[in-house]
């Protein structure tokens, strides 16, 4: 997904699911499991990460949701991606 972001123009919700055998099938969030949304240039490792929150149990998976926003003007175009 490519989206130009700013402090006022955040992404829509970004969803991700995690399955860990014997852990995520239990109801509610799995203890110690967290997810993040990241964005940055594809060719560089200096991405910016922000936490995503537990959303729902999706079958045997834990689903997380978050969105990306930029707190300040960035010098180059950025790419937004699920993390």
| Domain extent for 24 | 14-81
pLDDT in tens, 51-81: 999 999 999 999 999 988 766 555 555 554 4
Cα(48)–Cα(24) distance, integer angstroms: 27
pLDDT in tens, 7-33: 667 788 899 999 999 999 999 999 999
pTM of the entire structure? 0.73
Please list, residue by residue across 46-59, b when 16 or more beta carbons sit within 10 angstroms of its beta carbon and e when fewer do: ebbeeebeebebee
7 part of a folded domain = no
77 part of a folded domain = yes
18 part of a folded domain = yes
52 part of a folded domain = yes
């Amino acid at each position: 997904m490519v989206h130009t972001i700013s402090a006022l123009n955040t992404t829509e919700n970004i969803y991700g699911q995690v399955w860990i055998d014997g852990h995520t099938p239990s109801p509610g969030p799995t203890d110690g499991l967290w997810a993040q949304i990241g964005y940055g240039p594809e060719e560089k490792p200096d991405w910016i990460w922000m936490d995503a929150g537990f959303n729902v149990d999706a079958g045997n998976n834990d689903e997380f949701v978050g969105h990306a926003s930029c707190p300040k003007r960035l010098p180059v175009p950025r790419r937004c991606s699920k993390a």
